[in-house]
């Protein structure tokens, strides 16, 4: 009986060590965290807006500071990933009340996935006058700008767009940015364009994929069939405090600046391919023939040789 207890203690000690490294509250360690807490200003306890959709992804709403990674596997899905990131930035801007958003993007990433477009951002709920674009040439310059921007109180959120998995942005660099973001009290959204899953110090890593948009509502409460209304995203936590790794479909309402969790799944899309369902009772399509040979005979001849005693 002593072995499990010993193992348990070791496990707890290891957990504590990990928590110390991560400066975060692990399970069952919330009482001790103050000793190891990075000397950061506490998030203002003003009542957060009703982001009922985000509870499925973040444990306690959108974090006020720190590094959140959003990635997708392909450049053609960048519309959804950009949309989700900008929605988080807009939410953060609303929570902070004031403040600008800085979007740092490599020149290469901008030419691959398009430039930010002011009228579209305005419709999306983000004030283009309070968005600034930094266009460094290399990923290293982008990291430098991000680090410099995290100390500026004028920015409520900083978006760092990186294409792929550059070698200069590894675990050490992400840890450094995470600490800076915590110390500066700024939310850093890392938007990884067409990148692989990679270990990092981010609070959480989300994979964002497109989902069919909601239909436009009509005044009588119904919806207009075949129309493209509020955008929706399929958000799958890849690294998260919440162990739920099932994707959630979130719908963004640009007018209210709120997320809404929708129950629609990609399969219910009218044009989506219906999965091949197996019926319960498998009946043959054609009835079996009777009084007939049930099929061609086996090839070759079987010769019965008489056994000689």
Partner 1 sequence: MRISRLDREAERIGLRRGHGVTEARAICPSLDILPAEPVADRALLEGLADWCDRYTPLVALDGDDGLYLDITGCAHLHGGERAMLDGLLSSLFALGVEARGAISSSPGLSWAVSHFGEGGVIDADAAETVLAPLPTPALRLPKDTAEMLGRVGLKAIGDLLPLPRAPLARRFGPLLLLRLDQALGLEDEPISPRLPVPVLSAERRLFDPVSSADDILALSAHLAGSLKEGLERRGEGGRLFVLLLFRVDGRVFRIQAATSAPQRDPDRIKLLFRERLAAVHDGLDAGYGFEIVRLCVLTAEPFETVQEGFADGTGDSPSLSAFAERIVARFGPDSLLALTLAESHLPERAARLAPILDRLESERAVDRSGAPAVTATACMDRPLRLFTPPEPVETMAGVPEDAPKSFRWRRSLYRIARTEGPERIAAEWWIDGENQPSRDYFRVEDEAGRRFWLFREGIYGRQPHLPRWFIHGFFA
Between 25 and 94, CB nearer to partner 1: 94
Which residue stretch of 41-49, 191-199, 226-234, 282-290 sits at the interface with partner 1 (rule: CB under 8 A)? 226-234
Question: Rounded to the nearest whole angstrom, what is the least distance from the CB of residue 272 to partner 1 in the complex?
Answer: 6
Stretch that binds partner 1, among 32-40, 47-55, 61-69, 207-215 (CB under 8 A): 207-215
Q: Number of residues interacting with partner 1: please give it, by CB under 8 A.
A: 61
123 binds partner 1 (CB under 8 A): yes
C-alpha 53/C-alpha 219 separation (Å) is 24
Collapsing DSSP to helix, strand or coil, 285 comes out as coil
| CB of 196 closer than 8 Å to CB of 162 | no
Q: In angstroms, give the least distance from the CB of 203 to partner 1.
A: 23
Q: Which residue, 19 or 81, has its beta carbon nearer to partner 1?
A: 81
Whether 91 and 66 have beta carbons less than 8 Å apart is answered as no
Cα-atom radius of gyration of the chain, to the nearest Å? 27
Using N-to-C axis directions, what is the helix angle for 139-149 and 171-184, rounded to 10°?
20
- Contact between 200 and 69 under an 8 Å Cβ cutoff? The reply is yes
Q: Which CB, 56 or 113, lies closer to partner 1? A: 113
Positions in 231-270 near partner 1 (CB under 8 A): 231-234, 252, 266, 269-270
**Scanning residues 23 to 82, which ones bind partner 1 (CB under 8 A)?**
76-80, 82
Cα dist. 234→57, 79, 246 in Å?
A: 11, 12, 10
Taking Cα atoms as reference points, which of 146, 165, 148, 159 lies closest to residue 116? Answer: 159
User: Could you say which of 149, 187, 190, 203 contacts partner 1 (CB under 8 A)?
Assistant: 149
d(CA 162, CA 175): 16
**Binding track over 163-202 against partner 1, x by CB under 8 A:** ----------------------------------------
Q: Cβ of residue 211: shortest distance to partner 1, in angstroms?
A: 5
Among the residue ranges 61-69, 123-131, 167-175, 275-283, the one whose residues contact partner 1 (CB under 8 A):
123-131
| 295 makes contact with partner 1 (CB under 8 A) | no
Quote the Cα angle for 190-180-176, to 5°: 75
**Burial group, residue 131, by CB count within 10 angstroms (0-12, 13-18, 19+):** buried
Six-digit token pair at 302? Answer: 């079987």
Q: By the 8 A CB rule, do 153 and 102 touch? A: no
Among 29, 43, 148, 183, binds partner 1 (CB under 8 A): 148
Position among 1, 2, 129, 299 found at the interface with partner 1 (CB under 8 A): 129
228 binds partner 1 (CB under 8 A): yes
Q: What is the phi/psi pair of residue 174, to 5°? A: -70, -35
Binding footprint of partner 1 on the chain (CB under 8 A): 76-80, 82-84, 86-87, 100, 113-124, 128-129, 131-137, 141, 144-145, 148-149, 151-155, 209-213, 226-228, 231-234, 252, 266, 269-273
């Amino acid at each position: 009986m002593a072995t499990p207890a010993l193992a348990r203690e070791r496990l707890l000690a290891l957990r504590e060590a990990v928590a110390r490294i991560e400066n975060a509250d692990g399970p069952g360690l919330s009482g001790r965290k103050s000793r190891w807490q990075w000397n950061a200003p506490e998030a203002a306890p003003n009542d957060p807006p009703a982001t009922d959709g985000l509870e499925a992804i973040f444990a306690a709403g959108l974090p006020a500071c720190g590094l959140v990674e959003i990635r997708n596997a392909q450049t053609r899905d960048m519309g959804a990933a950009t949309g989700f990131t900008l929605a988080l930035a807009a939410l953060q801007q609303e929570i902070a009340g004031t403040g600008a958003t800085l979007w740092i993007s490599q020149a290469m990433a901008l030419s691959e996935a398009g430039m930010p477009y002011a009228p579209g951002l305005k419709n999306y709920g983000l004030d283009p006058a309070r968005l600034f674009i930094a266009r460094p040439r290399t990923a290293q310059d982008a990291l430098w700008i991000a680090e410099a921007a995290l100390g500026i109180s004028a920015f409520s959120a900083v978006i760092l767009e990186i294409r792929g998995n550059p070698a200069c942005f590894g675990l050490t660099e992400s840890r450094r940015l995470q600490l800076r973001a915590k110390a500066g009290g700024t939310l850093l959204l890392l938007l990884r364009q067409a990148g692989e899953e990679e270990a990092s110090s981010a609070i959480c890593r989300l994979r964002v994929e497109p989902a069919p948009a909601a239909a436009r509502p009509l005044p009588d409460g119904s919806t207009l069939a075949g129309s493209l209304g509020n955008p929706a995203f399929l958000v799958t936590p890849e690294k998260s405090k919440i162990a739920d790794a099932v994707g959630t479909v979130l719908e963004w309402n640009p007018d209210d600046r709120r997320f809404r969790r929708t129950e629609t799944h990609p399969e219910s899309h009218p044009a989506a391919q219906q999965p091949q369902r197996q019926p319960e009772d498998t009946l043959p399509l054609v009835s079996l023939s009777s009084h007939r040979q049930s099929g061609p005979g086996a090839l070759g001849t079987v010769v019965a040789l008489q056994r000689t005693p």
